[in-house]
Copies of this chain bind each other. A is one copy, B any other.
Amino acid sequence: MDKIVNEINPYLVKIFNEVLIIEENALKGSRFNDLSIKEMHTIEAIGMYGENTTSEVAKKTYVTVGTLTVSINNLVKKGYVERIRSEEDRRVVKLGLTKKGRLLYRLHDKFHRDMVKETLSDLSEEEAEILVKGLRNLHLFLDRTKNSL
């Protein structure tokens, strides 16, 4: 047991440390080089269907609504996001992606899917299911930890 912990731990540490840097660099090398990885994840949280409010996106991205407002100002200025006042409740702002924003969303989604495909490349169906089980355990641990703080 300890042996395998010693094997997995460094992979996880390296993966966590590197994935953000790598995504940031992938952005910098693309035509969307006016965005940071944080802005990319904000766009990811806004999603394709313009149904999320400012508060909801702030919650998803773990920042205060004040911080999100500033960030959305920049994303609107850069042409990725638009604000739409809700007609049912005029306090509420729905956030949506522009055409350019949706293009980027799909590109980033493809990056993630390619990453997962590579991860599964030489695994059988049954082995992939086991991987899912492990990731589910990890995810449950994190959620439990989050809620016990």
Mark A residues whose CB is within 8 Å of B. 1, 4-5, 7-9, 11-22, 25-26, 28-29, 41, 44, 61-62, 112-123, 125, 127-143, 145-146, 149
Say whether A135 contacts B8, CB under 8 Å: yes
Say whether A11 contacts B139, CB under 8 Å: yes
B residues within 8 A CB of A22?
Answer: 142, 145-146, 149
Q: Out of B18, B61, B120, which one reaches A142, CB within 8 Å? A: B18
Q: Out of B15, B62, B114, B118, which one reaches A21, CB within 8 Å? A: B62
Q: Out of B11, B17, B26, which one reaches A132, CB within 8 Å? A: B11
Assembled-state Cα–Cα distance A122/B137 (Å): 9
14 new A-B pairs (CB below 8 Å) besides A9-B112, A9-B116, A16-B20?
A4-B129, A4-B132, A8-B128, A8-B132, A11-B132, A11-B135, A11-B138, A12-B112, A17-B61, A19-B142, A25-B149, A118-B140, A119-B137, A128-B134
B residues within 8 A CB of A130?
Answer: 123, 127, 130-131
**Subset of 10 A-B contacts with CB under 8 Å:** A4-B120, A5-B113, A5-B117, A12-B116, A15-B135, A17-B61, A22-B146, A25-B146, A119-B134, A119-B141
